[in-house]
Amino acid sequence: MSTVGGAIKQAVTSMTNTAKIADLQHYTVEVTPSTGLTTDHGVPVSDTDTWRALKFVLKLSDGETGPGPALLEDHIAREKIHRFDHERIPERAVHARGAGAHGYFRAYEGSIASQFTYASVLTDSTRTTPVFVRFSTVQGARGSADTVRDVRGFAVKMYTEEGNWDLVGNNIPVFFIQDAIKFPDFVHAVKPEPHNEVPTGQTAHNNFWDFVGLQPESAHMVCWAMSDRAIPRSYRMMQGFGVNTYTLLNSANERFFVKFHWLPELGVHSLMWDEALKISGQDPDFHRKDLEEAIENGAPPKWTLAIQTIAEKDEHNFEFDILDATKIWPTELVPLHEIGEMVLNRTVDEYFAETEQSAFCTSHVVPGIGFSDDPLLQGRNFSYFDTQITRLGGVNWEQLPINRPICPVMNHHRDGQHQAKINKCPVNYWPNRLNAGAPVPAAQGGYHEFAQKVVGMKQRLRAPKFQEHFNQAQLFVNSLSASEKAHMIAAFSFELSHCDDPVVYESYTKILNNIDFDLATAVATNVGGVLPSEAARPNHGQTAFGISQLDFSPKTPTIKSRRIAILVADGFDATGVTVMKTVLKASGAVPFVIGPRRGKIRSSSGDEGVFADHHFEGQRSTMFDALYIPNGNAECGAVLRANGRVMHWIAEAFGHCKVIAGLGEGQNTIQHALARYVPELSFGAFDSDAVVTSYGVITSGKYSLGSTATDVISIASG
């Protein structure tokens, strides 16, 4: 992916010097051509290419010589190999594949947040809180593809003045299980099967569907995971959810239950399944590169932080349990309040040191934010801390540069592997005669736990409302648009077709009939499941706002950061391309010229033409959001129409509901490619305000698209 210009990058970089970036500079080594090579202990190295060997001449034949035996004494060679041997660390048990970026969070001035919490990070609009965010897939290994069908992780670390706050969420608001004790079973079932380590980056296998079929509490989440949400167009176009129920504490010592939401400025958009499959092979790093490209091209992604809150006294006023992570709080019942904004505006300098070594813990909260008795959250609070010890090699992982807070850290925890701090103090315990490292009273900012009244029996028991699993799964299906439902049927059918054990796919089609009769019938028909004769339970007919991703179009339609392919051949119209590129760049889009070869392509007027960024075989339509074919002379049109890859490009873009625009010969080429699909293709006017697509006219930032589109793009031209 490309960078528009060094100038933009510099400007962006100068805006990104948060307190955390300044802190990271202490650990950043600028490697320049004049930096000489040294060993780990700092001794200059004169030869890094040849292992020291016994120097003697071997007479092979006719005076040929060869090297002597290598010597173990070569400490420089040994050090180099030894360091290499230990480069890998265990990947994350889940969410192994990810991409990270730096940025900041700012609370909105005068937001409602201070009614619910005294957490300054959420209420003080004069603060800029540095953040590091890591997005991820869940199932696949570290080297798996980005665009697989999967839940996406959305982990946010806020380096606040009161310590780090980690909001470790997903792009889906609910979870597969209610109780953390089921997490190992769930992960074993979803991960590659134990006997053959298959499949990678997929849930399309017997064990996953076997487990969720026997664990009906997962039904709601499975619906989300089989929806378009699980194939996002970009990390930048996903919602984020804290998922679990946390609590907020205000300065009057009143406690509120809270759910956190991140709302993307660009709206929520997905790939189509066919695109996702193809991109997995064509560019497995698609999302990682997309994040980097947007930030470096001056289109930093933004999210609004919104909260839903419920007062303590209202905890039991809902038909679902508000501590059950398999349930949403419909916004019709609990409104969303927007309280701040997060911007990601800086890529990492080194992937391993920052993204890979970043470690998030749900138990990292700051004063004013706390936990609830959500049984999933309670287990998570143990697990994240624990897992880092294996992954990052000891208890001092919070001292790693990416993890350390920007505020002072002082306590009497000592030693352990990789201790990097030197505590200059003769006492390491409390109380001590020096009053060193004294606890901070709550009134002076010490973390304050809410005094929660609890009466009950200690038991292994699921609360009564935790027993109901299908109401919200039904709510989810009812709330989707027709095209989203069609995609969901296709997703279930794809996945269950990959299960070859009839017990598995028959059981799951029975589960589906508890959710929706039509869904169950369609999927059972496709996969040879159990065809229902009637719905297993009546449909309550309810819908909710915010489930269909079509509810999250961008507030201001924008083409910013969208990738536009311009297909040309020798003899193209240079003015048409220059104007379109200028218009697109001015709107923040990223145009790419694609031609028969990378390099100079001659224009019809014989001027110096244009430089093609890629050749037709080098990229595919799937990697772009829209397509433009400019005018050109007859030779140009003939070359494009005779090229099978170009014809496929247009037809494929059309099939994926992409915006397609053309002028003159370009329209002829589009018509030629689409003749068998749309015999009567008509083009509207094309002027400075409007770009004509195969589906309609896009004017001044408005768009219209085909009925199956899930991914929309607006072209604001002129």
Bind-site residues: 384
Q: Rule CB under 6 A: say whether 304 interacts with ligand HDD.
A: no
Q: Which residues pair with 629 in a beta bridge?
A: 662
Q: Judge whether 701 and 587 are in contact, CB under 8 Å.
A: no
User: In the structure encoding, which two tokens stand for residue 135, read together?
Assistant: 């997005």
Nearer to ligand HDD, 325 or 627 (CB): 325
Site membership for ligand HDD, residue 168 (CB under 6 A): yes
Q: In 226-285, which residue ranges form alpha helices assigned H by DSSP?
A: 273-282
Q: Is 188 left (phi over 0), alpha (psi -120 to 50) or beta?
A: alpha
Residue of the chain from 282, 304, 331, 383 that contacts ligand HDD (CB under 6 A): 383
DSSP annotation of 370 reads: E
With CB under 6 A as the contact rule, the residue among 148, 243, 266, 559 that binds ligand HDD is: 243
Q: Of residues 92, 233, 485, 562, which one binds ligand HDD by CB under 6 A? A: 92
1 is a contact residue toward ligand HDD (CB under 6 A): no
Give 387 or 704: the residue with its C-beta nearer to ligand HDD.
387
User: What whole-number distance in Å separates Cα of residue 701 and Cα of residue 571?
Assistant: 31
Q: Is 218 in the site for ligand HDD (CB under 6 A)?
A: no
Does the active-site annotation cover 170? yes
Compute the least distance from the CB of residue 351 to ligand HDD, in Å: 13
408: preceding bond cis by omega (within 30 degrees): no
Tell me whether residue 151 or residue 523 sits nearer to ligand HDD (CB atom). 151
Q: Exactly one of 95, 205, 287, 364 is catalytic; which is it?
A: 95
Contact flag: residue 344 with ligand HDD (CB under 6 A): no
Q: DSSP for 414-450? A: ---TT-------S--SSS-TT-TTPPPPGGGT-----
Provide the residue type at 167 as one letter: L
If one asks whether residue 384 binds ligand HDD (CB under 6 A), the answer comes out as yes
Minimal distance, residue 241 CB to ligand HDD, in Å: 7
User: Of these, 53, 93, 486, 697, which contacts ligand HDD (CB under 6 A)?
Assistant: 93
595 vs 603: CA distance, rounded Å: 12
Q: Which positions from 663 to 682 touch ligand HDD by CB under 6 A, shown as an x/- string?
A: --------------------
CB-hemisphere CA count at 13 Å for 595?
21
Helix (H/G/I), strand (E/B), else coil: 288 = helix
Residues 683 and 662 sit within 8 Å (Cβ to Cβ): yes
24 vs 402, beta carbon nearer ligand HDD: 402
Cβ count within 10 A of residue 428:
14
Of positions 99, 180, 279, 709, contacts ligand HDD by CB under 6 A:
180
Torsion (CA) 231, 233, 236, 238 in degrees, nearest 10: -40
Task: Pick from 20, 97, 102, 134 the residue near ligand HDD by CB under 6 A.
Answer: 134
Q: Which residues are annotated as a binding site for heme?
A: 384
Is the four-CA dihedral 32, 36, 39, 43 of positive or negative sign? negative
Question: Around Cβ 251, how many Cβ atoms within 10 Å?
Answer: 10
CA pair distance 191, 208, nearest whole angstrom: 8
How would you write 1-45 as a 3-class SS string? CCCCCHHHHHHHHHCCCCHHHHHHHCCCCCCCCCCCCECCCCCEC
Instruction: Give the residue with the Cβ less far from ligand HDD, 177 or 626.
Output: 177
Lookup result for tokens 């910013």 = 560
| Smallest separation, CB 664 to ligand HDD (Å) | 49
For position 244 contacting ligand HDD by CB under 6 A, the verdict is yes
Distance in angstroms (rounded) separating the CA atoms of residues 434 and 140: 52
From residue 674, how far is each of 274, 643, 680, 690 by CA, in Å? 18, 14, 9, 22
The H or E element spanning position 649 is helix 644-655
Tell me the closest approach of the beta carbon of residue 677 to ligand HDD, in angstroms: 41
What are the backbone angles phi and psi of residue 522, rounded to the nearest 5°? -65, -45
* Residues between 136 and 155 that touch ligand HDD (CB under 6 A): 136, 153, 155
105 touches ligand HDD by CB under 6 A: no
Shortest spacing between CB 38 and ligand HDD, in angstroms: 32
Whichever of 11 and 89 has its CB closer to ligand HDD, that residue is 89
Residue 540 bears catalytic tag: no
Asked if 379 is part of the footprint of ligand HDD (rule: CB under 6 A), the reply reads: yes
Closest separation in Å from C-beta 95 to ligand HDD = 3
Q: Which stretch binds ligand HDD (CB under 6 A): 59-67, 115-123, 381-389, 609-617?
A: 381-389
CA atoms within a 13 Å half-sphere pointing along the CA-CB vector of 418: 11
**Interaction residues for ligand HDD, span 270-289 (CB under 6 A):** none
Only one residue has tokens 């109401």, namely 471
CB of 194 to ligand HDD, least distance (A): 18
Q: Which is nearer to ligand HDD, 148 or 180 (CB)?
A: 180
Nearest to 380 by CA among 237, 227, 167: 167
CB of 462 to ligand HDD, least distance (A): 15
Q: Which is nearer to ligand HDD, 155 or 674 (CB)?
A: 155
Shorter beta-carbon distance to ligand HDD: residue 175 or 273: 175
Q: Which stretch binds ligand HDD (CB under 6 A): 93-101, 529-537, 556-564, 646-654?
A: 93-101
CA-nearest of 390, 279, 304, 165 to 621 is 279
Give the Å distances, CA to CA, from 470 to 182, 511, 522: 19, 9, 19
Q: How far is the CB of 183 from ligand HDD (least distance, A)?
A: 4
Instruction: Kindly state whether residue 95 participates in binding ligand HDD, applying the rule CB under 6 A.
Output: yes
Output phi, psi for 605, to 5 deg: -90, 5
Nearer to ligand HDD, 382 or 450 (CB): 382
Q: Which residue is nearest to ligand HDD (CB)?
A: 153
Number of residues that bind ligand HDD (CB under 6 A): 27
How many other β-carbons are positioned within 10 Å of the β-carbon of residue 676? 8
| Nearest distance, CB of residue 420 and ligand HDD, angstroms | 20
Q: Which of 104, 183, 208, 654 binds ligand HDD (CB under 6 A)?
A: 183
Selected catalytic residue, list 102, 164, 170, 396: 170
- Contact segment (CB under 6 A) with ligand HDD among 175-183, 406-414, 432-440, 521-529 equals 175-183
The answer to whether the CB of 627 falls within 8 A of the CB of 568 is: no
Q: CA quadruple 316, 317, 321, 325: dihedral positive or negative?
A: negative
User: Which residue's CB is nearer to ligand HDD, number 52 or number 391?
Assistant: 391
Contact track, ligand HDD, 453-492, x by CB under 6 A:
----------------------------------------
* Tokens representing residue 601 in the block: 């392509």
Place of tokens 């020291």: 52
Which residues in this chain contact ligand HDD in the complex, by CB under 6 A? 92-95, 98, 134, 136, 153, 155, 168-170, 175, 180, 183, 243-244, 325, 358-360, 376, 379-380, 383-384, 387
Q: Annotated catalytic sites, by residue?
A: 95, 170
